[in-house]
Amino acid sequence: MKFKYVVVGAGLAGITVAERIATQLHEKVLVIEKRGHIGGNVYDEYDAAGILVQMYGPHTFHTNDKEVFDYICQYCDWHDYQHRVLSYVNGNFVPMPISLETINQLYNMNLSEDEMEGFIESRRVKLDEIKTSEDVVLSQGGRDIYEKFFKYFTIKQWGVDPSQLDKSVISRIPFRKNRDTRYFTDQYQGNPKGGFTKMCQRMLDHPEIKVLLNTDYKEVLKDIQYEKLIYTGPLDYYFDDRLGKLKWRSIRFLFETHDCESYQPAPSTRWPMDYAYTRITEFKKMTGQKSDKTTILKEIPCEGDEPFYTFPTAEWKALAQQYRDMAAQEKNVIFLGRLAEYKYYDMDDVVRRALDVFEEEIR
């Protein structure tokens, strides 16, 4: 087989680059995907109850980048949606991120916007130096907010105490002094009608793009003639774990279908103190679907081989940098995306990065 470009990984980064190569350069591009489907972690499908569910956890597109928004809207009809999250604290659901509404509900008060700043200031812990994620929250929100919203949630999320995590993990705690309870405040928010997989299918629907599923690229690359490789898989896997395996945080997904129209009061709820799971997603509330049944997803962070989150400690950042230095020496290979760069990206950042890489390194 002969292709000018080979893309490893059919997630959002790989699909965006493949689409640009095909539509802008009119060159043949082969996309090789280890899983049995396209879309990476934004993959969604209809379950047995007819509910559109996201198989790797909830994703909501939000951005202030009009160019990125206009780009993806070429390939989907848009469902406007404002994501809202409630956190279960002290037996009640309160809005998250922390806003004036959160503080008033949590402490049964009626503070004004001006009064909120003084209330938060009175609870902050004065520290000489900010070194850890624990220090960040204590210095910005105080001990009660730290323990109710962040301490145990972080332990569940990462398997370590916040005092052991670098301050960059929780670099800033947003305190909204107004009553805005939206989770994101970006100008453009929503999801593709019919789901992300449908959008990805449209992006790949080009005669110059071929997709190979259920395939490890290492098993077939030697039989392919190509000029440039765009790699979006795990950074350590490319180098056969030569320096050791990088640490990733994985997630166990528990789907449940309930014979009721609504399961919880918001699309997403966080559980910082109770139970093993960190959040519950009710998908109908994100997509606008109508049904007399509803499907929810509980997420339990865990150790595992399936990479979801880069591990935010100095040890693993240092190892990742060693791998990045090796990657910089690779000829005719571009390392792109969350896995290949060992860096967390939101969806819009992934698309932005892929568009920039195409313009700067491929076109």
Q: Which of 20, 270, 279, 352 is catalytic?
A: 279
Distance in angstroms (rounded) separating the CA atoms of residues 102 and 179: 9
Question: Could you say which of 84, 249, 352, 353 is catalytic?
Answer: 249
- The DSSP letter of residue 182 is B
Active site residue 346: yes
Is 249 a catalytic site residue?
Answer: yes
The pair of structure tokens assigned to 70 is 């206009």
Place of tokens 């916040």: 162
Taking Cα atoms as reference points, which of 1, 17, 32 lies closest to residue 362?
A: 17
Query: Are 224 and 257 a contacting pair, CB within 8 Å?
Result: no
Helix (H) or strand (E) holding 100: helix 100-107
Calpha distance 81→58 (Å, rounded)? 13
> Does 179 qualify as catalytic in the annotation?
no
DSSP strand pairing (279-282 vs 294-302): antiparallel
| Active-site annotation holder among 176, 270, 352, 353 | 176
Measuring CA to CA, which residue among 218, 278, 286, 285 is closest to residue 252? Answer: 278
> Residue 77 contacts by C-beta under 8 Å, 6 or more apart in sequence?
192, 193, 194
| Residue given tokens 């399961």 in the structure block | 263
Q: Quote the CA–CA distance of 206 and 130 in Å, as a whole number.
A: 51
* Rounded distance between C-alpha atoms, residue 161 and residue 154, angstroms: 7
What are the two backbone dihedrals, phi and then psi, of residue 93, each rounded to the nearest 5 degrees?
Answer: -90, 125
Cis preceding linkage at 162, omega within 30: no
- The catalytic position among 33, 299, 348, 349 is 299
Catalytic residue among 128, 129, 172, 240: 172
Catalytic residue among 344, 356, 361, 363: 344
76, 72, 57: which is closest to 354 by C-alpha? 72
Across the chain, the runs of DSSP E, i.e. the strands, are 5-8, 29-32, 44-46, 52-54, 61-63, 78-80, 85-89, 92-96, 188-192, 209-212, 228-231, 248-258, 268-270, 279-282, 294-302, 309-310, 333-335
Q: Which residues are catalytic?
A: 172, 176, 249, 279, 299, 344, 346
